[in-house]
Amino acid sequence: MSLRVDLVEGSRIALKSLASHRLRTALTTVGIGIGVATLLAILGITQGLDSSFEKQLAGLGSNSLYVQKDPWIVMGDWWRYRGRRNLTWAHYQAVRAQCVRCEAVSASISQRGDVDFLDRALSLVELQGVTPEELSVGAWTVTAGRFITDADDLNRTKVVVIGADVADALFPDGAQPLGASIRVAGRPFTVVGVLGRKGRLLDQSQDLTVLLPFHAMSALFPRRWSLAIGVQVKSSDEVAAAEDELVGLLRRVRQTPPGADDDFTINKPEMLSSTYQQLTGALYGVAVGIGFITLLVGGIGIMNIMLVSVRERTREIGIRRALGATKRTIITQFVLEATLVSAVGGAIGTLVGLGGARLVSLVTPLAATVRPGTVFFGIGFAALVGLVFGIWPAARAANLDPVEALRDE
């Protein structure tokens, strides 16, 4: 009961004290608000980048593995992969026929090239020769028309399915791409489908792409290709087992000597995720550290203001102690005062910080995400800072000698 009285009375006195020193309260609130705004803006942007990257990874296909000659990301030891043999059509057929845990298996080859239609042209478009299974392995969607069929591939039909960015660039203002004849590397191809938008992955557009039948692509660019064999596993629980199965199968088909290293790589989205964490982890740490330092400075400002307040109200504290106020009552009053200032600053800083993060996402390529938990974290953490930095001034006020405090002028 007495604690509740202390809290109610302490809050009333704290609010009255803050109201009587408006300028000091405002400056202290601004100090803690800047710290919270900095921290929350950084958190909003980092959370947004993480969410955006997760969505981009989903565009590579659910439960998908990609068998290729080289790994997606090479960290300095590129020489290890120079002598590797190409992955061939025979390897693709073996995986397709023998892999038990594979629900779908696709083959693809790719290179950059030019695409044009009438007076509009695009350079450095990702041209991919694919088999029909690429639709499910690569998690593609078709928003108009159809995908490449087995008949297209068998007959080397000159048809293409174009990405969303290619469709927007070559067919602006709502023009109909289906049935149009575009030129791919100088050769005419008929558009039979338009792909759904995937977005960017590691700052590379996945929608600036044109898909051709595999054998039509081979005829268009005749050379010795190394295939990418895409595999969609039946369930996420079987991904590890499917990876082991593929390693054994390919070593047998490629006649890799016992004890020799694999002369192929099984790439998976988790590899990109790990690299992303390595590249951004240190940067995020530094950014969040700056936010915490700014918040620490705001906390020190609260402590300084509270010490000044204790000094100015020494006589008041002496009178209250003489009238029977306990040390707990005095501590509660000053801790509440510090916490209230900090919480208000935290609320303002949270709004400013998340608003700033959202503004950054609108005017730059950086993404930002505002999560409800982040809002509560900003206000709660600010209040905690006020509580921590207000304890010492509150304890100092409570430990004043009542007699000496009453003599203070």
Residues 238 and 312 in one domain: no
Comparing 67-81, 95-109, 341-355, which segment has the lowest mean pLDDT?
67-81
Residues 283 and 258 in one domain: no
Per DSSP, what are the bridge partners of residue 162? 194, 210
Nearest-angstrom CA–CA distance, 173 and 294? 49
3-class state of residue 124 by DSSP: strand
> Strand locations in 29-70, DSSP E?
64-68
How is 151-177 classified by DSSP, letter by letter? HHHHTT--EEEE-HHHHHHHS-TT---
- Single residue among 263, 288, 313 that ends a domain in this structure: 263
pLDDT of 158 reads 95
Contact 201, 60 (CB under 8 A): yes
From the list 9, 21, 11, the residue with the least C-alpha distance to 323 is: 9
Quick: pLDDT tens for 83-132.
788 999 999 999 999 998 889 999 999 999 999 998 899 999 999 999 99
**Per-chain mean pLDDT for the chain:** 81
For range 239-243, the mean pLDDT? 86
Residue 269 has pLDDT above 90, yes or no: no
Considering the domain boundaries, does residue 61 fall inside one? Answer: no
Residues 292 and 317 in one domain: yes
Tokens in use for 357?
A: 């993060």
Residues 6+ apart with CB under 8 A from 55: 199
According to DSSP, the β-strands at 64-68 and 187-195 are: unpaired
According to DSSP, the β-strands at 120-130 and 209-213 are: parallel
Quick: pLDDT tens for 164-199.
999 999 998 878 899 999 999 999 999 999 999 987
Residues 342 and 231 in one domain: no
- The domain of 98 spans 85-263
- Single residue among 263, 291, 319 that ends a domain in this structure: 263
Residues 225 and 366 in one domain: no
Residues 95 and 31 in one domain: no
* H or E element, residue 25: helix 22-58
How is 186-231 classified by DSSP, letter by letter? TEEEEEEEEEPP--EETTEESSSEEEEEHHHHHHHS-S----EEEE
Considering the domain boundaries, does residue 64 fall inside one? Answer: no
Tokens in use for 347?
A: 């609320």
pLDDT of 1 reads 43
Residue 78 has pLDDT above 70, yes or no: no
**What does residue 348 show for φ and ψ, rounded to 5 degrees?**
-65, -45
Residues 113 and 254 in one domain: yes
Contact 114, 196 (CB under 8 A): no
Residues 6+ apart with CB under 8 A from 235: 63
- Single residue among 263, 287, 317 that ends a domain in this structure: 263
One-letter amino acid of 385: V
Longest Cα separation, the chain: 103
Quick: pLDDT tens for 375-392.
777 777 777 887 787 777
